[in-house]
Chains A and B, each alone.
Chain A
């Protein structure tokens, strides 16, 4: 059963009067529970594709359906609600809120969803323990390593149990060992919670570990390989 369905997706940008075709007619579906990497060189359109799927950007033409919602007809506030309730984001640069502790950063999503204080604290604490950050619960991002911050970002992305997690080059700022640990963690969450993971990456380790690898080139799918 597909959770993401993309049809004839085109995205053009106008950069200083020059038309840039970032995505040029992509068709693909992602099934629930997939652990998929989108790879390709810089400028191949992988981040643009991820942004459109995440409702952060609008396509020039074509359609993107996430779950049963067609993103092309949604307003910016509806997209904002969808991002809050259905999608978890993991960014390359961690992007935690610097004045909030690890626990508060994870709790933040639940707060936006209107979850009661006790429940959100319990759930955030539980997730942080699950990602191995029991001792870092009260620390501010500046007092944590890059790997720890990225784990908090993962915890923040999964705490509300979204259907999909979109990760834009999540291991790009991590050393190999930390990156591998993070991948193990995400893979485990994928298996245990049946959350769909969609990565953009040019990290060979991520490509190797992905269950499905979609290669993009010049805004089009160059290859689509399912390993399991």
Chain B
């Protein structure tokens, strides 16, 4: 077999230029695949990270039914025992209690439906990036206490409501007695996350302030839990289910809470495969064309090989090895160049500030940092060798079927 691998290798260098063209087409295909996979992974990762860091956390503890319907009645009491167990759960980095409910905010100019989130500012800083996303100049600052008359809104919402830092707005919500109550709060700061839908809809105030407004006492809607590593989500979720759930709680991972995001990532992955398929369809024809040309040129030579006793299977594998060699060089070249570019771009990022608004809709941020996963390399290798095999199949069968006598007369 080694001799036929050697024959395949030497044969591809008989027409160096032609082989280099095919190798280049495979290499460019792999490079395009690596680049687009890296870009898409980066986008997906940033989309997930931004969603986790702004709203979801890795894991959330809710009262049963809250995820389906954010009604005030779906609240629970997070006693010391429960919080202690969360604190002691391995791989948990931080947690923060939240009260979440639908409300309406009204300025002198306009009003909007919002989700108001009551937070513990000290703990929230460790769990989400809302603190980091809050402007800290021109008087804008984060919520300063659990029970202050402060409200933190997004820059976009401030523009829509025509509000500045220091202005007052009215929050209207339904309390536990189903009474509509209105409370005036002062805008303490403006934030801006990379997630457009979040900025349009979410405002923050102190947790105790919101609890006193809605009358739910010390109860909360959610405990958001942040882990040291996203990989551990399923394991930690299981520990929390076993440790604190007595039947009335639901403990959800970010995937459970954002099924739309998971579906989007799957959709992107599918789109990538379609893209790869289109790239490699062209590669198939390029390889097949080259091999058919090579076989026609070596028609006589293959006839001689068959006439001196080379079996059809050996001729078949010789051609397959030629294609394999072309694919191998192409895939190595494509991976090396693709990895090098991804490595550089993973530090510099790809700046898409020109499309900032569109990127905010996706929640990715305007600078994408490509990420190459090991599975992407494995996929590239599998796709190239599969494609190469498919491309070589017809020429190899054709070569194996050459009749020696016909070929001997062919000059």
Interface residues of A (CB under 8 A from B): 51, 54, 56-57, 77, 80-81, 83-85, 89, 91, 93, 95, 97-100, 104, 108-109, 111-112, 156
Contacts and interface: CB of A to CB of B under 8 A. Distances in A.
Nearest to A160: B309
A81 B309 contact: yes
A83 B307 contact: yes
A91 B304 CA distance: 9
Nearest to B405: A56
A86 to B, nearest CB: 10
Interface in B110-164: none
B308 interface: yes
Contact of A85 (B11, B306, B309, B411): B309
Contacts of A99: 7, 10-11, 14
A97 B309 CA distance: 13
A80 B305 CA distance: 10
B83 interface: no
B3 A80 contact: no
B308 A111 contact: no
Contacts of A91: 304, 408
Contacts of A84: 308-310
B27 interface: no
Contacts, number: 53
A104 B308 CA distance: 14
Contacts of B305: 97
Q: Which 7 A-B pairs have the closest CB atoms?
A: A84-B309, A99-B10, A95-B304, A56-B405, A83-B309, A57-B405, A111-B3
Contacts of B314: 112
Nearest to A94: B304
5 contacts: A56-B307, A80-B306, A85-B309, A89-B307, A108-B308
Contacts of A98: 14, 301
Contacts of B408: 56, 91
A196 to B, nearest CB: 17
Contacts of A56: 307, 404-405, 408
Contact of A100 (B7, B300, B310): B7
Contact of B405 (A51, A100, A108, A156): A51
B311 interface: yes
Contacts of A100: 7, 10
A80 B309 contact: yes
A112 B10 contact: no
A112 B305 CA distance: 10
A109 B308 contact: yes
B14 A80 contact: no
Given A83-B307, A95-B304, A98-B14, 13 more contacts: A56-B307, A56-B405, A80-B309, A81-B309, A83-B309, A89-B308, A91-B408, A93-B411, A95-B301, A97-B7, A104-B3, A108-B3, A108-B308
B33 to A, nearest CB: 32
Nearest to B306: A80
